[in-house]
Amino acid sequence: MSADNKPASSRAGMKKQLPEKFINYKHVWVFVELERGEVHPVSWELLGEGRKLADKLGVQLAGVVMGPPAATTRAAVEGSYRYGADTVYLMEDPLLTDYRNEPFTKAMTDLVNTYQPEILLLGATTLGRDLAGSVATTLATGLTADCTELAIDDEGSLAATRPTFGGSLLCTIHTLNFRPQMATIRPRVMAMPEGKDGEVSGGLIEVPLNMKEDDVITKILDFIADNTTNKAQLAYADVVVAGGMGLGKPENFKLVKDLAEVLGAEYGGSRPLVQKGWIDSDRQIGQTGKTIRPKLYIAAGISGAIQHRVGVEGADLILAINTDPNAPIMDFAHLAIIGDAMTILPALTEAFRKRLSVNRMAG
Amino acid sequence: MHIVVCIKQVPDSAQIRVHPVTNTIMRQGVPTIINPYDLFSLEEALRLRDAFGGKVTVLTMGPPMAEDSLRKALGIGADDAVLLTDRFFAGSDTLATSFALATAIQKIMETEPVDMVFAGKQTIDGDTAQVGPGICCRLGMQQLTYVQKVESVDPAKREIVVHRRSEGGVQVLKTSLPCMITMLEGTNQIRYGTMDDMFRAARADVRVWSAAAAGIEDMTRCGLRGSPTVVKKVFAPKARAQKARPVDGEGAEALAAAAIEAIFASQPKLESDLLKQSAGY
């Protein structure tokens, strides 16, 4: 994508001129990601966001559920109503038991071509990104990835905002003259909506997949579950401690882990640390890593590029530890300690340890 | 075995700065690199070529200076290189880019079959992860993204088995060639080229194709005109009205104590939650 300095009005294709065939495309759809019987929470976050878009447009919100004939698939339908869908498009078929690109792409493109939504949102998970690219290309429509903000503009078009140029700036992208307008959003970027209490219901449109196993070339031989004991659970953690290049050397990352341990917190780092191999990629915090929404986020030696900022902005309280009082992180952190992480981190660890120590003799 | 690896020359984003007055990207003098994610895919392709024999062709769509990236890839060990460059490509989004690259690969296939296409997981300037799947879809190949490991290839049966990263685990997938693969970062380490590779790279003829030479007839599918997505606005994020409040104190202990006071003053429930957690509840 190239963004030059010409004003918007001088560029070809900047006007909304929707071709005749797309005029009747209506309603907002959210792909409900169901894998091994569980719905990925990003689907509910997107239904919450989709609700706002649908309300602004005065149209319906629909969930798209694809899965095997099973109680868990029906539970995903019910969950969709609970989190705001007016209606659900359901494809139930044994071929949709485990994710493969071919049947899921056929399922989604068939549904879109038949029922014609104006907006289609998917979570930017490994599944969502694998699916979105092939669906958008098959439909020859626009797809904006990893959006941090969605809105409807005055002409009823989806305005999708995301970081650009390695995270130095934000840009707002439209798919003006093609439908559906597709966007992927990372988990935790949007807030989890309040689910409705009690019994829920809505419209249901069941559609057959019309595909045979023999038509599908890729076969699943096995699924090897992760050993979750040491796995990062950053996305849903209440307290997160992270380190950046200001730490100086990989050995100093231990100071981050020590503080995290005292706080019972998750730990992570900025993108350069992952690229240098100091930490695993599943501990990367930032737009292309994990987006976090903790109550407390402590960032040591992190300068605060947009790429990192959009991954942590949802935190209730951000404490930045940095020797530079003018680092970009100071623009969005709430509290700052101007100092060297190498001395501040151990001091914080010790101080928290004392403050939080409990006399276990108490009943 | 003939493998085509799509690479992209990108600005080294760690070094991009925004002009403090005009809010535009200062591109002059920012060094360019091969998109780091592409290197994992290139290395995997080279390993497969070493194991099964054959050739690796690197392909890129970009301005004339993108030829530097192709020569770097040749210097690492790729055998052949194609630069797809044309003013018609300016302003391409991912749909227009996958169209151009897929057409070029079809052109390559006119003279020699292509068994696999590799692409980077995503770029560090666009981050969309869409071009690989787009190329795959257009060429009717089997799509394998987030590959952690190529487990086995059977050239006679035209079959490949891979480990694909999924939420909560790894899928072991078997599919037929031709296929498109994007490799997960950290799955291998890009090699250094041999002296022979570097001499060859310096002297190699990089094929330079315009849109027409690549077999593209419909220019409306390229560049800005072929791009459904349009960038309407580029802007710096709003600075919050108040910058971060620095805590007062002399020395690390004093600063730490002051910070903790400030944290718990603003989040009293957090203190009680952490105390409970610390006590083992």
Do A234-356 and A24-215 have the same topology in CATH? yes
A297-301, B111-115, B264-268, range with the lowest pLDDT? B264-268
Sorted by where each begins, the domain ranges of chain A are: 24-215, 234-356
Q: Which residues of B touch A356 (CB under 8 A)?
A: 274-275, 278
Sorted by where each begins, the domain ranges of chain B are: 2-221, 238-281
SS3 B56: strand
- What's the CA gap between A14 and A297, in Å, rounded? 40
pLDDT level of residue A1 (50, 70, 90 thresholds): very low
The per-residue pLDDT for range A136-190, each reduced to its tens digit, is 999 999 999 999 999 999 999 999 999 887 666 889 999 999 999 999 999 988 9
B173 CA to centre of own chain = 22
CB-CB: which of A1, A100, A296 is closest to B263?
Answer: A296
Q: Which residues contact B110 (CB under 8 A, 6 or more apart)?
A: B215
> Does CATH place domain A234-356 in 3.40.50.1220?
yes
pTM: 0.87
CATH number listed for the domain at residues B2-221: 3.40.50.620
CATH class entry, domain A24-215: alpha beta
Residues 100-159 of A with CB under 8 A from B: 100-101, 105, 125-127, 129-130, 132-134, 136-138, 140-146, 159
Closest listed residue to residue A254, CA positions, set A243, A238, A246, A263: A243
- pLDDT score at B13: 66
Residues 45-84 of A with CB under 8 A from B: none
The per-residue pLDDT for range B159-209, each reduced to its tens digit, is 999 999 998 899 999 999 999 999 998 899 999 999 999 998 989 999 999
- The answer to ipTM > 0.90 is no
Tokens coding B98: 């996958």
Q: Which residue of B has its CA nearest to A332?
A: B240
Count of positions (residues) in chain A: 363
Closest listed residue to residue A126, CA positions, set B169, B187, B124: B169
- What's the CA gap between A235 and B62, in Å, rounded? 37
CB-CB: which of B22, B126, B173 is closest to A221?
Answer: B173
The yes-or-no verdict on residue A308 having pLDDT over 80 is: yes
* Subunit contact B252:A358, Cβ cutoff 8 A: no
User: H-helix or E-strand containing B226?
Assistant: none
Under 8 Å between Cβ of B71 and B201 = yes
- What's the CA gap between A265 and B126, in Å, rounded? 32
Q: Which residues of B touch A223 (CB under 8 A)?
A: 166, 169-172
Residue keyed to tokens 């802007």: B235
The yes-or-no verdict on residue A360 having pLDDT over 60 is: no
